[in-house]
Each structure stands twice: as structure tokens, then as C-alpha cells.
Amino acid sequence: MHLLSIREAAALLHCHPYSIYGAVYEGRLKAVKLRGNIRISAEEVERMIMQKEKLERKLSVRETAQILACSQSTVLRLIHERKLKAELVGGHYRIKPEDLESYVLSLPNI
């Protein structure tokens, strides 16, 4: 069984790595945690390619909080402070994976 990193799986599926995280958290993509890192089997990626399931989508506040390992209220505060771009869709905030990546890259290295 060959295991792929999030970045490797995203490259094969032609999507953003945060879309992979979202699919894992939703249970649409099976993954294992190995030494603190999420790994996806090559067979699972092949299954996704065959299904041509669209992974690129906007993240919810909950999913964004899970990715950033913080609370949902922290994500909402970042949105209200305009540090993290988000769209209001049907009364719920949605974050583009690219905007989340921009926010993460703007953080100072600690």
C-alpha cells in the first residue's frame, strides 16, 4: 500500500491541498494519520480520479478551524477583522482555499 502526502494527492487530483483536507474531514476521502501527518492511499486517489469528483470548493468556518487547529470563533474573528477573506453565502461564511493559503503565508514565522 503506497501512501501519499496531502500535496502529492492534490497534485494528482489537480486541486488545492486545502480541498483535500476538506474532503478528508467530510469523509469523502479516506485517510490515515501517520506520525502526525495525514496520508492518503494511492488507491483512494485513483478512486477519486475515476469518479472525477470535484474537490475544489469553498470551506466552511468549521473546516477552516479544523485546518488551522483553532476555534470557530477565532476564524470568525479573523473574518471580521478582515485578516481572512470570506464570502457570505446563504447566511454562512465560505472561505476559498486560496484565501486560506494567503492568510497562512502572511503569518510571521515563529
Average confidence (pLDDT) over 48-67: 80
At 102 the pLDDT is 92
**Average pLDDT over the chain, rounded to an integer:** 88
Beta carbons of 69 and 33 less than 8 angstroms apart: no
- Amino acid at the residue 56: E
Cβ atoms of residues 71 and 65 within 8 Å: yes
19 confidence band (pLDDT: 50, 70, 90): confident
* Mean pLDDT on 72-88: 95
pLDDT over 70, % of the chain: 95
The amino acid at residue 60 is S
Place of cell 503506497: 2
